């Protein structure tokens, strides 16, 4: 995957994770809240991966 693909997927995962967290908090669903946090972290990692690819090239 290229830099932009990783960054776009990262943004999507962060947004979905934030939504799950909000719904989990509103409905007092601890498992959904935890799932949202995990998905947000995954998105953050994808963002970093995209930034590294941008700095070093797509061969990383």
Candidates 39, 6, 43; CA nearest to 22 is 39
The domain total for the chain is 1
* Residue-level pLDDT at 59: 59
pLDDT tens-digit readout, 18-59: 999 999 999 999 999 999 999 999 999 999 999 998 888 755
Where in the sequence is the domain holding 29, given as residue range(s)?
A: 3-56
Burial of residue 18 (CB within 10 Å: 0-12, 13-18, 19+) is middle
Distance, C-alpha 59 to centroid of its chain: 22
């Amino acid at each position: 995957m290229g830099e932009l693909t990783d960054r776009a997927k990262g943004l999507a995962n962060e947004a979905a994770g934030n939504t799950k967290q909000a719904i989990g908090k509103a409905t007092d669903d601890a498992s959904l809240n935890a799932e949202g946090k995990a998905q947000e972290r995954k998105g953050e990692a994808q963002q970093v991966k995209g930034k590294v690819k941008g700095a070093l090239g797509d061969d990383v």
